[in-house]
Structure 1
Amino acid sequence: MKGPPFAPPKLASIIVEALEDRVHPAYGQAATVGSRGRPQARTVHWRWLPERGTLGFNAHVRSPKWRQLRRVPELSGVYHDATRLIQLRWEASVELVDFKAKASGDRAMLDRAWALMRPEVRLAYWRDWAAAKTRDVAPRCPNLGLAVCRPRVWDVFVLHPKDYNKGRRTIYELKSGVWRSSKVSLLHSRPV
């Protein structure tokens, strides 16, 4: 992994556990900047990318979100984990990895992402590829891409199971390669 860790150490293990949970998949939202400069949000399946030591999601290389991220490689993400009683929001730069990837680690990362997709989703990717009539969804389709996120801000809300007012909110910001934290109000970003 190059650069600073994707999250503060105390937070990183919780995030990895949530993103690798096969029983409770990590569906959340990603917001990009549309062609008219307006935010565009959509639901994505957030995954842990061990090859890069960070999080990301699959994307079709001809999708609007892929075009938007190519133009402005930045996003805001959110994931509410009802199992672990935590809400994660973050801001990140994004690197796009697609079928042109030269590094063997990137190709392995794409292969792993493909293998983790449900068969019916893989079939949809293949059917879109030059109107392919294939039923074999094992080989990776060339139109699969990965959005690899490098968070620089985490806004973490740890919920209390019985009393919202006992929840805790912390903002972590990456400054000069070091994660700095500040406790803030549940309702706004002022320090508490």
Structure 2
Amino acid sequence: MINALIGELVSVKEGSMIVRSNNIEYVLLISNQSASRFSSLDKEERKLIKILTSLQVREDSLTLYGFYDDAEREAFEQLQTVSGIGPKQALKILSGINVRHLAEALDSGNIKTLATIPGIGPKTAQKMVLALRNVLVLDEPKMKQTTSRTAVWADVVNALVEMGFERRRSEEVIGDLEVEFAREIGELSRQSAEELLFRHALKNLS
């Protein structure tokens, strides 16, 4: 299973993006919500990104789906537990409504809002509410535990080493950034903390 890709954002458009990792370019299908967020990254930020993934295996194809954050990927997977909703339909739903609004509509049983999503009628909306009410969890755990932080720093350093940077120097830079951004990191999710470190480490090492 591919949990995530770390590499350079080559291009992004409505519905898909291309990421170059270890000299291989991957095409990922993404929601319009994710496309908008990745499109907003500047030139420097695009040099090193992390995108969460879900690999869908079929007899005649392999399809890689990408997500900006854990909440969107979790919603994508949970939507497929609803009868009649496959991966393409789940991605279409996430293109039509952001995860927070989706969760609010599901938890409140707001059939009217759900039925306005392209491709979703009242019957499917009702099935979604029955299956997913109070299921989607939006709040990610904060990066306060030392063990979690250690794992993040190791992931960031390994990613930098794979890009050709010297390990010892990468570790020094990450250590300095930990001190510099300690307050911000303490309030971030793991993924957001990694992205912050990636971005600033790349600037310092280049």
Which TM bucket (shorter chain)? Answer: under 0.3
Larger radius of gyration: 2
Higher relative strand content = 1
Could you say which structure has the greater relative contact order, defined with CA pairs below 8 angstroms and 6 or more residues apart?
1
Higher relative helix content = 2
TM-score, normalization: structure 2?
0.23
